[in-house]
Amino acid sequence: GQQVMQIPQYQHVQEGEDFTTYCNSSTTLSNIQWYKQRPGGHPVFLIQLVKSGEVKKQKRLTFQFGEAKKNSSLHITATQTTDVGIYFCVARSGGSNYKLTFGKGTLLTVNP
């Protein structure tokens, strides 16, 4: 099935520093989703990227989809303590339209 590798596994930053997590696939992706899970919470959908080279922004968050549609990134500018959580990238599994494969996630901690 579809494999998505996410790096880094952990990232600790000082409040105000930037943060980036990367998602890589060995195969071309039709599209990719990003989710955030706060400590003790459940995953929450952030965004979906579909087009090659697509860039989307949500306030301090910037999402990119690679030109080859094999990688994606999430960049947070000037982190805040509210950004703490696990960030997952999600891709379709194999040829199924129904199943999603989650990356293992990047745990972001922010020191105030």
**Structure-block tokens of residue 53:** 């080279």
59 near other proteins (CB under 8 A)? no
- In the complex, what is the shortest distance from the CB of residue 78 to other proteins, in angstroms, rounded to a whole number? 26
55 near other proteins (CB under 8 A)? no
| Residue among 30, 39, 59, 112 that touches other proteins (CB under 8 A) | 30
Contact 101, 6 (CB under 8 A): no
- Alpha-carbon distance of 18 to 62, in angstroms, equals 11
User: Which of 44, 43, 71, 46 is closest to 59 using CA atoms?
Assistant: 46
**Chain positions contacting other proteins, by CB under 8 A:** 1, 30-31, 33, 41-45, 48, 50, 88, 91-93, 97-105
